[in-house]
């Protein structure tokens, strides 16, 4: 079945991605809905898991028994070379290094781009409209761009998707340009490798010859001094030449601990935009769009009324999980040739729904908030009314209302026996403040993220 699935997968993910990421895998077994693979490296399996897991599940389910999860063993077989170093006969178009200027057998620098991460597949809503607009502008490559463009936001909110979309679009507009996309982890890996193999001059040269450099998840190099040093020089050299840089991270530059000040200040010369946590409307929009795409290939898909709304309502943490859930439903539907009703969805996604509901307790919230604002836990319940204590307390009330299913009187009891109207007042106050005070809204988003992690 792996052979059949592979033939399909090659079409869905594109030959390049397929050769690079999926081909190195070996299917060992499918048992109880779990497909086990042998993967040469952790890097490959992580990548596959993040980008192609749902496609693999759909295809395996189509040709064999239902697969609802993938498992990877690393390097159980004879170790194969790291895929990123394999010389591929046809590198992805938007990759650097095709004109290797006489260098022999140089490793490809970038990571391949996911063909599905395009602007047309990106659903725009309030939480991401600014990031999307900035990305569009940068992709146009006009003279009044933003350089560097720094995108940040929580896991699964679309940073990587937007970066790939910029690369695709820019490359279409500027076919001769060299666009290089890679993760900060890969940057470090290449750098260390160049040091080891004494090819550091080649390394520098290759990076400095690109027209657009995109480094994903840059928080990874925080605290890694020599990598940062090199990154900083590369970065400066490119910006000075007017080359575009796009960077992503899971938080704002100022909040990345262990990132050098000069890098932070250089970053703030460009544009910094964040992707906010998704709203119900955006989640529903994304689900509808993905369902349309799937239905185009599988016209027989029957999705019951209210299923997408249910998912958008219940799976709130991250778009990747949301997508995974949807893909699992598709796999289920195409295998059993059965309509996806609400009941089927609930049963089929029980585990995802359960972890998404993982109970956050008022205790957790009070502790985290107290820690964050550096006040005593006892002050959460205590009577103090000074702003420095009262405000964090209200934030904790607000989060308790938002993240738990406790009623206002119950919450009141946990805050030192306060009345439910006091809680209501606190919740409203924070809602009101957060709608205008950007710093507060960010603080709350960060706390939520920490609590939901």
3-state helix, strand, coil in the chain (%, to 5): 55, 10, 35
Instruction: Enter the DSSP assignment of 27.
Output: E
Q: Which does 158 bind (CB under 5 to 8 A by kind): ligand ADP, Mg ion, none?
A: ligand ADP
- For ligand ADP, the binding residue among 13, 57, 135, 159 (CB under 6 A) is 159
Q: Which residue has the tokens 């050098």?
A: 260
Binding residues for ATP: 156, 158-160
Minimum gap (Å) between residue 13 Cβ and ligand ADP? 12
Exposed, middle or buried, 246 (CB in 10 Å: 0-12/13-18/19+)? buried
Alpha-carbon distance 46 to 53, whole Å? Answer: 10
Q: Using CB under 6 A, which of 21, 47, 122, 181 touches ligand ADP?
A: 122
How many residues touch ligand ADP under the rule CB under 6 A: the total is: 17
Q: Of these partners, ligand ADP, Mg ion, none, which one is at the site of residue 161 (CB under 5 to 8 Å by kind)?
A: ligand ADP
Q: Can residue 158 be called a binding residue for ligand ADP (CB under 6 A)?
A: yes
Q: Does 218 bind ligand ADP (CB under 6 A)?
A: no
Per-residue string for binding with Mg ion, 136-175, x by CB under 5 A? -----------------------xx---------------
Query: How many residues are present in the chain?
Result: 453
Q: Of the two residues 6 and 247, which places its CB atom closer to Mg ion in the complex? A: 247
Position 160 contacts ligand ADP (CB under 6 A): yes
Residue 373 and residue 389: Cα distance in Å, rounded? 8
**Closest CB to ligand ADP among residues 160, 422:** 160
Contacts for 286 with CB less than 8 Å, ≥ 6 apart: 123, 278, 319, 322, 323
Closest CA to 208 of 238, 241, 239: 238
Query: Does residue 318 bind Mg ion (CB under 5 A)?
Result: no
123 interface partner picked from Mg ion, ligand ADP, none, CB below 5 to 8 A per type: ligand ADP
Phi, psi (degrees; rounded to nearest 5) at 9:
-60, -40
User: With contact defined as beta carbons under 8 Å apart, do 238 and 208 qualify?
Assistant: yes
Q: Please provide the distance, in angstroms rounded to a whole number, between the alpha carbons at the two ends of the chain.
A: 36
Give the C-alpha separation, 238 to 337, whole Å: 53
283 vs 320, beta carbon nearer Mg ion: 320
Least separation in angstroms between CB 442 and ligand ADP: 16
C-alpha count within 13 angstroms, C-beta hemisphere, residue 101 = 7
Least distance CB 59 / Mg ion (angstroms): 24
Chosen residue from 255, 309, 323, 443 binding ligand ADP by CB under 6 A: 323
Reduced to 3 states (helix: H, G, I; strand: E, B; else coil), residue 387 is: helix
Q: How far apart are CA 440 and CA 55, in angstroms?
A: 39
Q: How far apart are CA 149 and CA 147, in angstroms?
A: 5
* 101-140 footprint of Mg ion as x/- string (CB under 5 A): ----------------------------------------
Among 113, 214, 286, 430, binds ligand ADP (CB under 6 A): 286
Distances (CA, A) of 362 to 64, 158, 184, 317, 418: 45, 30, 36, 19, 14
Burial of 439 (0-12, 13-18, 19+ CB in 10 A): exposed
Select the binding partner of residue 107 from Mg ion, ligand ADP, none (C-beta < 5 to 8 A, by kind): none
Nearer to ligand ADP, 44 or 389 (CB): 44
* Residue 128 binding ligand ADP, by CB under 6 A: yes
Q: Does 399 bind ligand ADP (CB under 6 A)?
A: no
Q: Does 219 contact Mg ion by CB under 5 A? A: no
253 binds, among Mg ion, ligand ADP, none (CB under 5 to 8 A by kind): none
Judged by DSSP in three states, 154 sits in coil
- For residue 155, the partner it binds in Mg ion, ligand ADP, none, with Cβ less than 5 to 8 A by kind, is ligand ADP
Task: From 22-30, 118-126, 176-184, 302-310, give the range in contact with ligand ADP by CB under 6 A.
Answer: 118-126
Which is closer to ligand ADP, CB of 55 or CB of 230? Answer: 55
| Minimum CB distance to Mg ion, residue 364 (Å) | 27
Using left for φ > 0, alpha for ψ between -120 and 50, and beta otherwise, residue 97 falls in left
Spatial neighbors of 183 by CB under 8 A, at least 6 apart, are: 111, 215, 216, 217, 220
User: Closest distance between ligand ADP and the C-beta of residue 82, in Å?
Assistant: 22
Annotated binding site: 156, 158-160
Identify the residue among 60, 84, 131, 157 touching ligand ADP (CB under 6 A): 157
- 2, 18, 117, 170: which one contacts ligand ADP (CB under 6 A)? 117
Footprint of ligand ADP (CB under 6 A): 117, 121-123, 128, 153, 155-161, 286, 319-320, 323
Footprint of Mg ion (CB under 5 A): 159-160
């Amino acid at each position: 079945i792996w052979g059949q699935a592979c033939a399909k997968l090659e079409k869905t993910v594109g030959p390049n991605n397929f050769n690079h990421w999926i081909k190195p895998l070996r299917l060992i077994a499918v048992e109880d809905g779990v497909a086990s693979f042998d993967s040469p490296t952790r890097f490959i399996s992580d990548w596959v898991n993040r980008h192609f897991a749902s496609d693999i599940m759909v295809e395996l389910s189509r040709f064999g028994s239902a697969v609802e999860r993938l498992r990877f063993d690393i390097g159980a077989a004879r170790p194969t070379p790291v895929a990123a170093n394999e010389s591929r006969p046809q590198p992805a178009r938007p990759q650097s290094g095709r004109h290797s200027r006489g260098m022999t057998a140089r490793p490809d620098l970038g990571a391949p781009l996911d063909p599905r991460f395009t602007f047309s597949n990106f659903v725009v809503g309030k939480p991401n409209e600014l990031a999307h607009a900035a990305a569009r502008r940068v992709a146009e490559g006009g003279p009044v761009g933003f350089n560097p463009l720094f995108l940040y936001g929580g896991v699964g909110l679309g940073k990587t998707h937007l970066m790939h979309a910029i690369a695709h679009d820019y490359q279409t507009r500027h076919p001769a340009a060299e666009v290089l996309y890679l993760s900060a982890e890969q940057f470090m890996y290449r750098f260390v490798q160049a040091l080891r193999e004494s090819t550091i001059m080649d390394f520098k040269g290759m990076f400095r010859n690109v027209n657009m450099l995109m480094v994903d998840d840059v928080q990874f190099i925080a605290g890694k001094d020599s990598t940062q040093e090199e990154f900083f020089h590369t970065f400066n050299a490119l910006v000075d030449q007017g080359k575009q840089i796009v960077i992503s991270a899971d938080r704002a530059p100022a909040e990345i601990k262990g990132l050098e000040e000069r890098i932070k200040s250089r970053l703030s010369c460009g544009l910094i935009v964040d992707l906010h946590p998704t709203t119900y409307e955006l989640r529903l929009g994304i689900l509808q769009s993905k369902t349309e795409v799937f239905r185009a290939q599988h016209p027989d898909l029957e999705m019951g009324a209210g299923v997408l709304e249910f998912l958008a309502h219940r799976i709130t943490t991250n778009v990747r999980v949301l997508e995974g859930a949807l893909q699992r439903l598709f796999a289920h539907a195409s295998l059993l040739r059965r309509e996806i009703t609400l009941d089927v969805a609930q049963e089929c996604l029980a585990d995802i729904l359960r972890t998404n509901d993982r109970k956050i307790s008022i205790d957790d919230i009070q502790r985290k908030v107290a820690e964050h604002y550096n006040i005593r836990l006892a002050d959460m319940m205590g009577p103090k009314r000074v702003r420095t204590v009262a405000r964090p307390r209200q934030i904790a009330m607000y989060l308790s209302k938002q993240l738990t299913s406790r009623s206002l009187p119950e919450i009141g009891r946990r805050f030192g026996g306060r009345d439910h109207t006091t809680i209501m007042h606190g919740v409203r106050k924070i809602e009101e403040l957060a709608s205008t005070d950007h710093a507060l809204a960010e603080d709350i988003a960060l706390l939520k993220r920490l609590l939901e992690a």
